[in-house]
Amino acid sequence: MNVPVFINEQLNEISQKLLIDHCNHEIIQTKDHTQFPFLYGKYALMITEPEPENDIHIVFDGFEKFNQYPIIAVGNWKANAYGQALYERYRNSYLVKLIHPQIQLRTLNMLRTNCFIYIDSHHQEDQSASLIEAMYMQLPIIAYASEYNKTLTQNNAMFFRHSSELIDILHSLHPTKAANNGALMKQSISSQLEKLHLMH
Where residue 113 sits, what CATH number does that domain have?
3.40.50.2000
pLDDT at 200 exceeding the cut of 60: no
How many separate domains does the chain show? 1
Neighbours of 84 (CB within 10 A): 13
H-state helical runs in 98-174? 105-114, 130-136, 147-152, 163-172
In eight-state DSSP terms, residue 140 is: -
pLDDT confidence of residue 156: 97
pLDDT tens, position by position, 55-87: 999 999 999 999 999 999 999 999 999 999 999
- CB 158 within 8 Å of CB 87: no
pLDDT at 21 exceeding the cut of 90: no
pTM here is 0.93
Mean residue pLDDT of the chain comes to 92
Query: Exposed e or buried b for every residue in 42-62, given b needs 16+ CB within 10 A?
Result: ebbbbbbbbbeebbbbbbbbb
pLDDT confidence of residue 199: 63
Q: Which domain holds residue 117?
A: 3-199
Residues in the chain: 200
With cut-offs at 50, 70 and 90, classify the pLDDT of residue 47: very high
pLDDT at 195 exceeding the cut of 90: no
